[in-house]
Structure 1
Amino acid sequence: MRVPRKTGNSKLVKKLNKEEVLQQVIQHGQISRADISKQTQLSRPCVSALVDEMIQEGLLQEVGMGDSRGGRKPILLEYNYQAYAIAGAIFEGSTLDMTIANLKGEFMARCRKRLDQPANGERVIEDLVAGLTRLLADSGMSHDQLLGMGVGLQGVTQRGQGTVSFSPSTGWMDSPIQEALEARLGVPVIIDNDVNLMTLGEYVRGVGVGHSHVVYMYVGTGIGAGVILDGQFYRGSREAAGEIGFMMIGPEQHRRNGASGVFETHYSVPGIMQQAEGVLSDLQEGSSVIEELILHARAGSVQAQTLLDDVYRHWAYGMANIVSILNPELLILSGEMVHIDDEGVKKIQEWLTEWVPKVPCLKKATLGEQAGLIGAVHSVLEAFPSTRLLDKA
């Protein structure tokens, strides 16, 4: 319980008192004016005046009657999570996935777009602008209600500098991409690596909840990892931690234009599909190559089973390297790895038990394609605390 502030600049005191009121409403979910007064030790007339003003500003709303304690039933107040919005965007391979969410992080609208290949940085920005315009229209929110956007990019991002130091797929090499996005979108932008945002999403809403030492391993058009140690993201000295696609796992080769590492060249989805060309003749676009290999292996294909075992074993090599260095309590398998069957998971568990002294819990990601968007939205919520809404109101 905090003592009310009674001295100093009146505008500052009023703002601080409004922060107290707002925090009480958010903390309790629903609360009456009388209980806010009791919790903050602000007078009832003061609380009523502040609440009325915050209702006018759209930050609070009355949501019905509470239980009576002998007198009139109190009117309950609730934080208006629809007052403002947050946008999120994730680039994964040739796809741009976008959403707009309320202040609870709940999606109000979502859209996906296939990007032209090869990707062009300027065209990608235009796709973001068009997508945001569509999301605002679909959600019924105005641009003025938008607090910011979190954007997940492939490559090595420097969040503090707002640059991407390594992203051959877009050409954004050491360019001030955050500044360019903010200029075109007209809102504050937070950039981060796409897998980091997927990791954050699974950490705050998925199987990572309740764990402090987590590694999220992702296999898609590339291979990457997000690392959370003692509840904090570990990014490395140049924010390149988790670029496990460059592990020396698989046949050594010269990197083409510096784009891909050895591990992801051979054991990302495109690498596996290339190896499966002689095994899977009818793989449809959008299908899981692992699911198809499993089906063919169960139907008696020795080639499919051999390739499947090879993929599992090399993925397990990557896991063993991660576990040996970071000793996580939870290793989340995501992307194409969510299609590993029970038999495959058992094999990987057995290999890891043989290779490393302490095997973490292995769990498949549960949020699917939503993980990165949830992380993008959450990154803005973290950077834009609720009390700052008082400045915007």
Structure 2
Amino acid sequence: MLGRNQTGNSKLVKQLNRQEILRKLRENKRVSRADLAKLTELSRPCVSALVDEMMKEGLIHEVGVGESKGGRKPILLEYNFQAYGVVGAIFEGSTLYMSIADLSGDLLVDYHFRLQQPTNGDMAIRCLELGLQTLLSKSGFEKSRLLGVGLGLPGITQRRDGTVSYAPSTGWMGLPVKQEIEERLGLPVVIDNDVNLMTLGEFHKGVGNGVKNQIYMYVGTGIGAGIILDGQFYRGSREASGEIGYMMVGQVKKLNRGEYGVFEGNYSVPVIQEKARKVLPSFAEEPGVIKQLIRHTEDGHIEAGRLLNDIYRHWAYGIANMVSILDPDLLILSGEMIDIDESGVEKIQGMLTEWVPYVPQIKLAALGYKAGIIGAIHSVLEAFPVVNSNKIYLSGGYVNESK
């Protein structure tokens, strides 16, 4: 007779076997049960039983017959990427971006909403609720078919605890953010730092695809970076790696707990806008301050040119600090840095050539706001690998009963 631990172990083994079958089906389109047994190294009866179970759940379907190898023609199986959906969401500046994707990570429906400023945590969660309702309505997905929500937040997120330990812009510091959002949305949620998810998006489907060692640098309301080393995302012991906004770049001032760092306190977008207002004859209160400075510089405005060069130099200081330590193959520039023109990139490369032993390849991010959404979706697909008997299992213990 099985004891309690043995029962638990058998359930875990079953989940792992299901996961392996689904993984092989994702990698190998249209295979037979016999082929699956060979690929997974599981017995044929085990594969057959689990396949039948997952066919009832809609995860696998039959798609015809294959060629005979001397006996009966095999029935071919295919992973049903439309069986469930995944929601990706990210707060970028004052805008919330959301999408629903299928199990292959392909985006199906988009939604974005500009939050009134100043905002607060409760208002942000209400926007998530509205966004989820809108996505479900536009996509036709039932809520019970959603695996979960990947959410990118500013600040240092503690994924296991579901809290944000350091976030000057939201007021969520130390609060059980994940738990509250799960209760309000009625879905399991994976939280992560916004720039981390942007990095993962470019790594999976953008200019960073296939590059094992890369740094993703983002300049917006704050300044942050994502770091991938040997194909693995590096987070640090307290999940605070990449918080380059706290580098000592620019004028140093005393900081209080919860404030922005020195680097972002001198060269983030709001501060650059403030500096631009003082030197430009006409300054548009809209995104694109770097574009405006470039345009005025090309028109011969001396002060605009000086400010632009100062920005490039100090951004390059931060890059040099990272490059000299991590020696990446690729540096991806994003956020406001996406507007740097070719001559600007050449200036930064020239400075780095003088300062560091090896200069990585520099590319502008390609996915825009979708980078964060794609990263958020992949974070959910990695966290919810198994769907079993209408229960969604999350590493860490969350179980959601589908209705």
* TM-score w.r.t. length of structure 2: 0.86
Counterpart residue number, 2:294: 294
Hey, what's the Cα distance between the residues in 2 that align with 1:248 and 1:170?
23
What per-residue deviation string (whole Å, max 9, x for no partner) do you get for residues 125-156 of structure 1? 11111111111121111111111111111111
What per-residue deviation string (whole Å, max 9, x for no partner) do you get for residues 32-67 of structure 1? 345335546778787666544433321112334545
Counterpart residue number, 1:5: none
RMSD: 2.7
What per-residue deviation string (whole Å, max 9, x for no partner) do you get for residues 242-289 of structure 1? 111122212223447742222212211111111111444544454411
Counterpart residue number, 2:198: 198
The alignment-based identity, stated in percent, is 59
Counterpart residue number, 1:390: 388
Q: In the alignment, residue 180 of structure 1 is paired with which amino acid? A: E
Residues 269/41 of structure 1: CA separation in 2 closer, same or farther (3 Å cut): closer
Aligned 8 A contact 1:55 1:61 in 2: yes
What per-residue deviation string (whole Å, max 9, x for no partner) do you get for residues 91-127 of structure 1? 1221111111111111111111111222111121111
Q: In the alignment, residue 389 of structure 1 is paired with which amino acid? A: V
Aligned 8 A contact 1:352 1:359 in 2: yes
Aligned 8 A contact 1:129 1:185 in 2: yes
Counterpart residue number, 1:209: 209
What per-residue deviation string (whole Å, max 9, x for no partner) do you get for residues 302-332 of structure 1? 2222211111111101101111222222211
Query: What residue ranges of structure 2 are gaps of 5+ in the alignment?
Result: 1-5, 392-403
Q: In the alignment, residue 270 of structure 1 is paired with which amino acid? A: P
Q: Secondary structure at the match of 2:277?
A: coil
Residues 305/73 of structure 1: CA separation in 2 closer, same or farther (3 Å cut): farther
Deviates more, 1:239-248 or 1:306-315: 239-248
Q: Secondary structure at the match of 1:131?
A: helix
Hey, what's the Cα distance between the residues in 1 that align with 2:44 and 2:346?
62
What per-residue deviation string (whole Å, max 9, x for no partner) do you get for residues 141-175 of structure 1? 11111111111111111111111112232211111
Q: In the alignment, residue 87 of structure 2 is paired with which amino acid? A: A
Counterpart residue number, 1:96: 96
Counterpart residue number, 2:344: 344
Counterpart residue number, 1:139: 139
Count of residues paired in the alignment:
383
Q: In the alignment, residue 375 of structure 2 is paired with which amino acid? A: G
What per-residue deviation string (whole Å, max 9, x for no partner) do you get for residues 226-246 of structure 1? 122233322223222211112
Q: Secondary structure at the match of 1:276?
A: helix
Q: In the alignment, residue 218 of structure 2 is paired with which amino acid? A: Y
Q: In the alignment, residue 340 of structure 1 is paired with which amino acid? A: I
Counterpart residue number, 1:126: 126
Residues 42/159 of structure 1: CA separation in 2 closer, same or farther (3 Å cut): closer
Pairwise CA distance, 1:14: 7.3
Aligned 8 A contact 1:60 1:79 in 2: yes
Pairwise CA distance, 1:190: 1.2
Aligned 8 A contact 1:118 1:169 in 2: no
Hey, what's the Cα distance between the residues in 2 that align with 1:68 and 1:240?
55
Hey, what's the Cα distance between the residues in 2 that align with 1:19 and 1:90?
28
Counterpart residue number, 1:377: 377
